[in-house]
Amino acid sequence: MRIINRIIVDNFKRKHPQSRNPLRGWEHIVSNTNYQDLNDLRKSFGKKIDYLASGYTIFDIGGNKYRLITVINYPHKFIEIKIIWTHNEYSNPKNITDLKGGKI
């Protein structure tokens, strides 16, 4: 899969240096695999992903320390990174409302 908006990951890693290795591992896995659908994605990530009806796929990264919010286009083989949050940022009620409303 091709990763779009990789700059978001790079900026997050600079701000949160402890996220470097877990995010690097995620990047390695997704960039070397072509997923057909959500079920195929779950083969690599299991319960570490959630899908919202608003169209976002959310990855739990680093033992649930970070949440990587993405939109995945399976036919065109790309993952668009929307935002990365710490667990605390993800738990913010406004962010949860924005996620569910498709406003990220």
- Three-class secondary structure of residue 54 per DSSP: coil
Q: What is the pLDDT of residues 72-82, one digit of tens each?
A: 999 999 999 99
User: For the whole model, what pTM was predicted?
Assistant: 0.93
Q: What is the pLDDT of residues 84-95, one digit of tens each?
A: 999 999 999 999
pLDDT at 2 over 90: yes
Domains, the chain, ordered by start: 2-100 (3.30.2310.20)
Q: What is the pLDDT of residues 16-64, one digit of tens each?
A: 999 999 999 999 999 999 999 999 999 999 989 999 989 999 999 999 8
Nearest partner of 15 among 4, 7, 3, judged by Cα: 7
Residues 91/47/62/88 CA torsion (nearest 10 deg) = 0
